[in-house]
């Protein structure tokens, strides 16, 4: 990971914006998966998948220790995801809402 100096208060977000737009341009889960597999290392994919796996359990109020027992995701990671759900940019919640509304629409 690149280190930012303390003077880098507002790094140029153009690369992150470009990546976000690339992901948004993909319309099928298979396309997104292929993109992620090309972009990320297996360890990065595992870390992101672990974080995503705990989101619905946290939203249901499942205790951290039980989430760990169910998923084998570390309690530290579970805590970080919980903090992000509370104080993050809202991405987890938006994705979960879209996923749930897509599931609901598909079942009708």
Backbone dihedral angles phi then psi of residue 33, each to the nearest 5 degrees = -60, -45
Percent of the chain topping pLDDT 70: 84
- Judged against a pLDDT cut of 80, whether residue 66 lies above it is answered with yes
What is the distance of C-alpha 72 from the center of its chain? 17
Contact (Cβ atoms closer than 8 angstroms) between residue 68 and residue 74: yes
pLDDT at 103: 64
For residue range 14-38, list pLDDT tens digits in order. 999 999 999 999 999 999 999 999 9
> Please, are residues 73 and 54 in contact by the beta-carbon 8 Å criterion?
yes
Say which CATH superfamily domain 32-106 falls into: TrpR-like (1.10.1270.10)
Mean pLDDT of 59-88: 97
- How many angstroms separate the CA atoms of 72 and 65, rounded? 10
pLDDT attached to residue 6: 46
Q: What is the pTM of this model?
A: 0.79
Return the number of other C-beta atoms located less than 10 Å from residue 101's C-beta: 10
Nearest of 39, 64, 43, 41 to residue 54 by alpha carbon: 64
What's the whole-number average pLDDT of the chain? 89
């Amino acid at each position: 990971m690149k280190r930012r100096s303390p003077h880098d208060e507002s790094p140029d977000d153009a690369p992150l914006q470009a990546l976000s737009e690339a992901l948004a341009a993909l319309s099928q889960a298979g396309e997104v998966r292929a993109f992620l597999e090309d972009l990320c290392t297996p360890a990065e994919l595992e870390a992101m998948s672990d974080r995503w796996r705990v989101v619905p359990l946290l939203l249901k109020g499942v205790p951290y220790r039980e989430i760990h027992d169910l998923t084998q995701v570390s309690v530290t990671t579970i805590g970080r995801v919980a903090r992000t759900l509370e104080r993050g940019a809202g991405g987890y919640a938006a994705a979960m809402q879209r996923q749930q509304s897509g599931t609901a629409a598909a079942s009708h």
